[in-house]
Amino acid sequence: MAIEVQAEPTPNPNAMKFTANQTLFEKSTSLKQGDESDNALAQALIQLDGVDNIFGVNDFVTVNKTMDADWDELIPKVEKVFAEAE
């Protein structure tokens, strides 16, 4: 079943908050580029080109992009990860 998310800007222009319609993480999860996780969703997000790091807890995850990434290109990729999540 696809996870529905709502993207919201944060005060940091390099960070976006994605709030889901269900719990994503039982405990806080923080990854940076190159990290590995046994959480499939976190692993898929950190592997996206343009993602620098993520922080997730409960029903949201904050995605921080690299300086050269563009939100117009990155948001659809993040949303696709959620849409394909199991």
- pLDDT tens for 3-44 read 899 999 999 999 999 999 999 999 999 999 999 999 999 999
> In the CATH hierarchy, which top-level class contains the domain 5-83?
alpha beta
- pLDDT tens for 60-86 read 999 999 999 999 999 999 999 999 886
What pLDDT, on a 0 to 100 scale, did the predictor assign at position 60?
Answer: 97
pLDDT at residue 50 tops 90:
yes
What pLDDT, on a 0 to 100 scale, did the predictor assign at position 2?
Answer: 75
Distances (CA, A) of 68 to 21, 32, 60, 64: 30, 16, 24, 12
pTM value > 0.85: yes
- Order across the sheet with 51-58: list the strands: 5-9, 15-20, 60-65, 51-58, 25-32
Rounded to an integer, what distance in angstroms lies between the CA atom of residue 61 and that of residue 65?
13
